[in-house]
Structure 1
């Protein structure tokens, strides 16, 4: 079932034009599931469109349960690419879901027209304002705000202030290859960014050069950091992986296994969830109630701390205070997690260094 309504122009006599909404049906790797195309009349003064969807007899995907379906809507651009313009909520354990109706501005569905000159060169893509990655000229998006709030605190515990930064879930130029652990600075040999400001700069640059693309796999980047941590288990370094995500995980089983494996290494994982999605999967990874397990093996330590970004948006507009609260809560478990690893390996604190001696880097931080 699909309904398109609420086309309520101020003046119904204005000329109408065609708009096209394409819904790509995905979910099975390597299998084309089909495309649904909606065509509607757009009036010049049209403001919004409201839609609602349901599905029947979906395939069972989860091993123990049913499925946790959601919809992602893409706008078809003139250059053949697609841009995410809306994601529905996740409906847990249901093969016949009915998603809530949603309203979306029509301008988000219309691609920006290119020039008609023969030598026209595209000056860039326009990311819709509904995107969590939208770069406003007036304020940082939620990804950048979360990265800055947590990163500026945690960087004080790293002596060289060099942060390997990775992105996951994008098609990379020039061949459009999908990657789930690519360096934000585009340098595979040296993914380090100088300070959190360097990470932010690399993130903004990446938004202009890659095409965001699903599925959203966590395991590759967790394993990437785990390989680094496995090389330094003598207590001289401790790794903290900061992941900022909208909450959708496509490889939950592999992610659980990656967390279980990482729990035996000098490593912690901070997850900040942004956007309006349900974060049940993140709560499960947090492991405060039930320790994360994979194939009958439980994590040696609780190494994951999750917080939803929306809980720290101060309604009074005091952004400094709300970001300070966010940083405090996401870092609250790191000292105990670090100590639990050191004690489990019998690593004793080193004697104090002589005066005027630079301390070694004891905390390596990787921001995503």
Structure 2
């Protein structure tokens, strides 16, 4: 059975097909722009899938007869644009098939504001096993919990049957905040079947489900991969974190240089975890909005770098972007000016867009220029995130390779600035000798 949604007689979308059931619960969701001042008419068409050659696309209408009830759920979406990739396995699930074991799959539900639950994801079916390992899947955070990290997520486990009468094995509840802890003792869940528990006094559970892996979206993964290495070169690990291309509350003004933590006076975040927390909180409050201008954040860092040119500090700007840039000319000028200063720029491109503009900013093949003026030195390193995604799902290895290539040019860029300004390293401090000890030298 399928459901087709029409908006002003234009087909807006079509659900997935659900076989062998008169009570379908569709997973696929649709996002509609709501306009308070307008009347928006929706029409829903139900159709039954039939074998080819028997009118598979003809509507099945019986005039004057009630053919069922449609329950429509709607909720205002948060501005959260994050997504998560996770993988689960189960152990010692109940055996439901008489001639085999079980064919288990999981169904995820998010809780609604009225206490009801809405289906948001189904895993694939793993045949004939009580210890399934399901494939990793990626889901938008707002589909899973609408950006509320503490909202209840219910997970039901079933044994698949061909006729659609899937056998209930059990369920458990969790939250996005719990899942975000990753693989740990906190993410091993007992699958409970209340009816079975009431009937059997010695009932313990119907198996366990374990979270094998959890990873954030590409933005967060890139930030974590690069940041966890480069943060060790900062003494206090307090980092200013800026966002660009968004409407800010309360007046909806568009900004290309706003603090992720919302504090204009103190945009510093404590370590990479602090930046990630500010990033997630920002996604809940701002509305992503074009155009996408790079120049303001480049110039922001350049102002800091211009104030300290004695070699005592060196600044690294990490930009994570989907590749869209609206102020190419201004950005090139900002980079040419920044090439004179103690700073480097790392750009990580996420998504499937073409990154021609980012490659041009990199300047490996052709030194970047602005208004006929060449950059004094190469200070930009660009890498596309998609080139580092390991097909086996080994995110640790992927991010290690990403960080290695992203940071490969920083040492040479740092040294090139110091040499061009004639700045030499300070003398190394004398080795520490504990009081009362004489330091001995051994020649080999």
Does TM-score exceed 0.5, indicating one fold? Answer: yes
Inter-CA distance 210–79: structure 2 relative to 1 (3 Å threshold): farther
Inter-CA distance 223–128: structure 2 relative to 1 (3 Å threshold): closer
What is residue 267 of structure 2 aligned with on the other side?
191
What is residue 225 of structure 1 aligned with on the other side?
301
Indicate which of 3, 19, 22 corresponds to 2:7: 19
Contact kept in structure 1, 2:241 and 2:269, CA below 8 Å: yes
- Aligned-residue Cα RMSD (Å) equals 2.8
C-alpha displacement at 1:178, in angstroms? 0.2
- 1:113 and 2:74 aligned: yes
Inter-CA distance 78–41: structure 2 relative to 1 (3 Å threshold): closer
Inter-CA distance 128–243: structure 2 relative to 1 (3 Å threshold): closer
Indicate which of 347, 368, 377 corresponds to 1:292: 368
Inter-CA distance 274–43: structure 2 relative to 1 (3 Å threshold): closer
Inter-CA distance 257–46: structure 2 relative to 1 (3 Å threshold): farther
Indicate which of 242, 246, 251 corresponds to 1:170: 246
Contact kept in structure 2, 1:164 and 1:183, CA below 8 Å: yes
| 1:276-315 residue CA offsets vs partner (Å, 9 max, x unmatched) | 0011111100000000000000000100000000010011
- 1:329 and 2:300 aligned: no
TM-score scaled by structure 2?
A: 0.55
| 1:162-185 residue CA offsets vs partner (Å, 9 max, x unmatched) | 000000000000000000010000
Q: 1: distance between equivalents of 2:225 and 2:244?
A: 21
- 1:40 and 2:16 aligned: no
C-alpha displacement at 1:19, in angstroms? 3.2
Inter-CA distance 186–46: structure 2 relative to 1 (3 Å threshold): farther
Q: 2: distance between equivalents of 1:289 and 1:202?
A: 36
C-alpha displacement at 1:273, in angstroms? 0.4
Contact kept in structure 1, 2:226 and 2:402, CA below 8 Å: yes
- 1:244 and 2:320 aligned: yes
What is residue 331 of structure 2 aligned with on the other side?
255
What is the aligned residue count?
A: 263
Q: 2: distance between equivalents of 1:44 and 1:241?
A: 43
Q: 1: distance between equivalents of 2:430 and 2:6?
A: 74
What is residue 33 of structure 2 aligned with on the other side?
77
- 1:179 and 2:258 aligned: no
C-alpha displacement at 1:129, in angstroms? 6.2
Equivalent residues in 2 for 1:293-308, closer than 5 Å: 293-308=369-384
Contact kept in structure 1, 2:245 and 2:291, CA below 8 Å: yes
| 1:163-209 residue CA offsets vs partner (Å, 9 max, x unmatched) | 00000000000000000010000010111000000000000000000
Contact kept in structure 2, 1:219 and 1:255, CA below 8 Å: yes
What is residue 347 of structure 2 aligned with on the other side?
271
| 1:321-361 residue CA offsets vs partner (Å, 9 max, x unmatched) | 111110000000000000000011010100123567xxxxx
Worse-superposed segment, 317-326 or 143-152: 317-326
TM-score scaled by structure 1?
A: 0.66
SS at match of 2:367: coil
Q: 2: distance between equivalents of 1:289 and 1:342?
A: 23
Larger RCO: 1 or 2 (CA < 8 Å, sep 6+): 1
SS at match of 1:317: coil
Q: 1: distance between equivalents of 2:79 and 2:419?
A: 51
C-alpha displacement at 1:216, in angstroms? 0.7
SS at match of 1:241: strand
Inter-CA distance 188–128: structure 2 relative to 1 (3 Å threshold): closer
Contact kept in structure 2, 1:268 and 1:304, CA below 8 Å: yes
Q: 1: distance between equivalents of 2:332 and 2:31?
A: 33
Indicate which of 241, 263, 276 corresponds to 1:200: 276
What is residue 153 of structure 2 aligned with on the other side?
none
Q: 2: distance between equivalents of 1:281 and 1:43?
A: 36
Q: 2: distance between equivalents of 1:336 and 1:167?
A: 28
| 1:82-125 residue CA offsets vs partner (Å, 9 max, x unmatched) | xxxxxxxxxxxxxxxxxxxxxxxxxxxxx9724xxxxxxx6845
Inter-CA distance 79–160: structure 2 relative to 1 (3 Å threshold): farther
Q: 2: distance between equivalents of 1:133 and 1:209?
A: 20
SS at match of 2:377: coil
